[in-house]
Amino acid sequence: MSAVEGSAAGSGAAALVATDVTKRFGSVEALRGLSVTVREGEIYGLLGPNGSGKTTFIRCVAGLVRPDAGSLALWGGEPREAVAAGRVGYMTQAAALYVELSVEENLGFFAALEGVDGVRQRIEEVLRTVDLLDRRRSVVGTLSGGMRQRVSLAAALLHDPRLLLLDEPTVGVDPTLRRDFWDHFRGLATRGVTILVSSHVMDEAGRCDRLGLIRDGRVLAEGSAKELVARAGTADLESAFLTLSEGATA
């Protein structure tokens, strides 16, 4: 395994091990033997076009979809066990919130489900992280798309999960806040939190410790952004992605 950028990233034991995972929905083969290993404290980016299987894989890891074949383990156990133990935080692609409730009420609900202690204080902390403390009493239905994304992230962070699943977390988030998000993700990873993030934004992919280029439900290439660029012999990650995926399908 190559050296990775950043601090202690990826130095821990394997948090997530997926081997030859396949999943079919009717006639659509969403995952065709996807294998990925993510170590504790690592930020792993799933990079790929729409419909490549990123979300399906994240849903498998969140225990929402059972793979047809292959194995998928979180800390050596079933994903559902890790979810039930409150070790997994999941931020869905479209903010899954109750639009009739306020920011605080939404977070209070998810905190109760996750069994969070000291709810009030914890809600304040996560709202400070996503810079929404002043909107805590706003009804979610009145918030912009980007703000809802931030509430959704706050809900995923509430119970201090050991594995954070982020499905395109910065869609609709402005560049300044996106940078703050990523600083926060890096901070969490330094504290040992494992992060699996999907994206098709290249500058964001560059901030992951390792990337898996996904296409048609398979990992085409894996490595740090630098390694992938070097392997493709291109100037940037975007061209590297195009070169590597064309090479694989040719």
Partner 1 sequence: MNPRRVRAVAKRIAEQFRRDRRSLGLLIGAPILVMSLVGALWGSSTAQVSRIVVATDRAPAPQLVAALRRSPALAVTETTVDEAMRRLRDATVDAVISTRVGFVSTEIVVVMEGSDPFRSGTTLQSIQRAVLAAVSVPPIPGAPPAGPPPVVVEYLHGGPDHTLLDLLAPLLIGVFAFFFTFLLSAVSFLRERTSGTLERLMATPLRRAELVVGYLAGFSVFALIQAVVIIAFTVLVLNVKYSGSLATIFLIEAMLVIVSVSLGLFISAFARTELQAVQFIPVVLVPQIFLSGLLVPVDQLPDVLRPFAAIMPLTYSNEALRGVMVRGLEIGDPVIVRDLLVLAAFGVVTIAGAIASIRREVA
Which residues in this chain contact partner 1 in the complex, by CB under 8 A? 59, 62-66, 83-86, 88, 90, 92, 94, 96-99, 110, 113-115, 155, 165
Query: 66 or 120: whose CB is closer to partner 1?
Result: 66
Choice between 100 and 236, CB closer to partner 1: 100
Going from the C-alpha of 213 to that of each of 6, 65, 233, the distances in angstroms are 20, 21, 16
Q: How far is the CB of 161 from partner 1 (least distance, A)?
A: 10
Q: Which amino acid is at 84?
A: A
Distance of alpha carbon 86 from alpha carbon 204, whole angstroms: 27
Amino acid letter for position 12: G
Of 193 and 213, nearer to partner 1 (C-beta) is 193
* Smallest separation (angstroms) from partner 1 to the CB of 165: 8
Identify which of residues 23 and 218 has a Cβ nearer to partner 1 in the complex: 23
- The distance of closest approach from Cβ of residue 110 to partner 1 in the complex, given in angstroms and rounded to an integer, is 7
Closer by beta carbon to partner 1, 96 or else 230: 96
Q: What is the end-to-end Cα distance of the chain in Å, rounded?
A: 26
Gyration radius (Cα) of the chain, Å: 18
Q: Select 140 or 225, whichever has its Cβ closest to partner 1.
A: 140
Enumerate the β-bridge partners of residue 167: 198
Give me the least distance between CB of 100 and partner 1, in Å please.
10
